[in-house]
Amino acid sequence: MLKVEELNVYYDKIHAVKGVSFEVRDGEICTLIGANGAGKTTILQTISGLLRPKSGKISFDGVDITGHSPNKILVRGLAQVPESRRVFGQMTVLENLEMGAFTRRDTAGIREDLEMVFHSFPRLKERLRQPAGTLSGGEQQMLAMGRALMSRPKMLLLDEPSMGLAPILVDEIFSIIRQVNKTGVTVLLVEQNATKALEIADYSYVLSTGKIVSSGEGRSLLTDASVRSAYLG
């Protein structure tokens, strides 16, 4: 579904992503793991059109989307849940979810997807008229994921969904990611909690200083000695 080829991204003169190539197959959960500064978020932002690569090619669902604007990429079915949630704090939960569907015109389908989001995240329905800025960190993460799902994506890019959450909420978020994937949504996950990410991943890539240094099935990397010593403790 997603193919990244020889991707190079710079911040001014800093070479942040260095010739990265990888694939994400339809229906799977794929993860990018690595230390802070490895280039994980930069890769996601480049895929979703927020950053432009210096060189390389990004194909989504068979179409070259390299350098396309974020709204065009969203319409094609690729939605990102950003790091730190970034909900619209002064708007209600319902208004945030409606913003997720801003590219759509199918009113009946939007109502149907709202009910789907409420089924997946029942706490959001309880707080429907509440300003998003007053939600807890875990609830804001659920809202950010629900907002992305309202675009009816084929693929979700998740950037550090467990960041700043209590351990019990981390388990809940990862359980929800599994549920979303089971509905047919492909997932590309960037996550500092490497153990949790590898436990749910079909396939994983390990990044170090802007390069992919290892890859394999998620469960197999859990037992890889070099991966364990560098990222799993």
Q: Give the model confidence (pLDDT) of 34-87 as tens digits.
A: 888 889 999 999 999 999 999 999 999 999 999 999 999 999 999 999 887 788
Closest residue by Cα to residue 92 from 147, 47, 152, 40: 147
Instruction: Give all strands (DSSP E) within the chain, no chain letters.
Output: 2-11, 14-24, 29-33, 55-60, 63-64, 78-81, 155-159, 186-190, 203-208, 211-216
pLDDT score for 233 = 57
Whether residue 1 contacts residue 186, with contact meaning beta carbons closer than 8 Å, is answered with: yes
pLDDT score for 54 = 96
Give me the architecture of the 24-51+67-77+154-233 domain, per CATH: 3-Layer(aba) Sandwich (3.40)
Q: Would you tell me how many other CB atoms lie within 10 Å of the CB of residue 77?
A: 17
The rounded radius of gyration (Å) of the Cα atoms in the chain is 17
Q: Give the model confidence (pLDDT) of 81-131 as tens digits.
A: 988 778 888 899 999 999 989 888 898 989 999 998 998 888 899 999 999
Domain boundaries, the chain: 24-51+67-77+154-233, 85-152
Q: Give the model confidence (pLDDT) of 178-231 as tens digits.
A: 999 999 999 999 988 888 999 999 999 999 999 999 999 988 898 888 787 777
Tell me the C-alpha distance between 31 and 130, whole Å. Answer: 33
Q: CA of 186: how far to CAs of 29, 107, 133, 180, in Å?
A: 6, 24, 29, 9
Whether residue 170 contacts residue 13, with contact meaning beta carbons closer than 8 Å, is answered with: no
